Amino acid sequence: MEPRDIDGDLTEILIDQEQIRARLAEMCRSIEIDYADKDVLLVGVLKGAVMVMADLARELTLPITMDWMAVSSYGSGTSSSGVVRILKDLDTDLTGRHVLIVEDIIDSGLTLSWLLANLKSRGPASVEVCALLRKPEAATVDIDVKYVGFDIPNKFVVGYGLDYAEKYRNLRSVGILAPHVYS
């Protein structure tokens, strides 16, 4: 059951709980092969990636460490401002580390392209990206993403960590937000 006050706020459920679980498990099997002999540092991008990170980390059979970064480019709107701010930096020194950025969504790609440049400048051994969702039609920059869960249409989605004005993050599924909620 989803929370009681969302009736009518979603036009449709795009990806349900079981589809998310199954796809994350597949992605973990690929990550386990690729990082079999490496220590991986998962870098979760707050706040949206909290659910992906929690489920991915528990599904992985690799020894991992986790750290978090908080950046914001959306504020309370439905489109990226393009201006990325660090709200919380990593606690970990990235020198020589194998970094896997964990994201909920790649939309315009602006957040991730900024983040990749920022983390690569810190001397890591490698930096790759794992994102649950990607909107190919919304891309404004070309980014090489190693692990992607689902390519989705260019609609504003919420749930499973994704918010609109900080709401809906606790939905178990990913759904399309009804335009009447934000227009």
Ligand X SMILES: O=P(O)(O)OC[C@H]1O[C@H](OP(=O)(O)OP(=O)(O)O)[C@H](O)[C@@H]1O
Q: Is 107 an annotated catalytic residue?
A: yes
Q: Does residue 74 interact with Mg ion by CB under 5 A?
A: yes
The active-site residue, picked from 9, 104, 107, 163, is 107
In the complex with ligand HPA, which residue's Cβ is closer, 41 or 162? 162
Query: In whole angstroms, what is the distance from residue 101 CA to residue 29 CA?
Result: 17
Within 10 angstroms of residue 84's Cβ, the number of other Cβ atoms is 17
| Min dist. Cβ of residue 176 to Mg ion (A) | 15
In the complex with ligand HPA, which residue's Cβ is closer, 157 or 181? 157
Residues binding ligand HPA (CB under 6 A): 74, 105, 107, 156-158, 162-163
Q: How many helices (H) and strands (E) does the chain have?
A: 4, 9
In the complex with ligand X, which residue's Cβ is closer, 44 or 96? 44
Residue 72 near residue 86, CB atoms below 8 Å: no
Question: Among residue numbers 134 through 173, which ones bind Mg ion (CB under 5 A)?
Answer: 163
C-alpha distance across the termini of the chain, in Å? 27
Within 10 angstroms of residue 108's Cβ, the number of other Cβ atoms is 18
Residues binding ligand X (CB under 6 A): 45-48, 72-74, 80, 103-112, 163
Q: Collapse the DSSP code of 107 into the 3-class scheme (helix H, G, I; strand E, B; otherwise coil) and give the result.
A: coil
Cis peptide before 38 (omega within 30 of 0): no
| Min dist. Cβ of residue 29 to ligand X (A) | 24
| Min dist. Cβ of residue 104 to ligand HPA (A) | 7
Active site residues: 107
* Chain contacts with Mg ion (rule: CB under 5 A): 74, 163
